[in-house]
């Protein structure tokens, strides 16, 4: 293979390498951005789970309090003498 062809092939290969390195850099940047987004979403999900647990506990407390109250039937019956 003549030197000019080797030089051309080398230049083409180097150009392709630079192109691929640029794509790799872009991909890494996108991956980093997605990691940050996932971390933010996981944090929001954790907070939402805490709020949901607190709401469930509050509902249980309200249900327990309601169970201790006299029922409407008991309140509407006249007192027995």
Write down the domain spans for the chain.
3-62
Q: What is the pLDDT confidence band of residue 3, given thresholds at 50, 70 and 90?
A: confident
Mean pLDDT across 25-48: 98
The answer on pLDDT for 32 being more than 70 is yes
Tokens describing residue 18: 């630079």
Q: What is the pLDDT confidence band of residue 74, given thresholds at 50, 70 and 90?
A: low
In sequence order, what DSSP letters do the residues of 16-71 get, joined into one string?
Answer: HHHHHHHHHHHHHHHHHHHHHHHHHHHHHHHHHHHHHHHHHHHHHHHHHHHHHSPP
Mean pLDDT across 15-38: 98
The answer on pLDDT for 23 being more than 60 is yes
Mean pLDDT across 52-58: 98
């Amino acid at each position: 293979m003549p030197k000019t062809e080797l030089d051309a092939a080398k230049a083409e290969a180097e150009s392709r390498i630079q192109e691929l390195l640029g794509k790799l850099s872009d991909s890494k940047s996108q991956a980093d951005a997605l990691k940050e987004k996932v971390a933010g979403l996981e944090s929001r999900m954790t907070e939402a789970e805490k709020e949901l647990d607190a709401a469930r506990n509050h509902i249980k407390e309200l249900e327990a309090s309601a169970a201790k109250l006299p029922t409407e039937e008991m309140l509407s019956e006249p007192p027995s003498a």
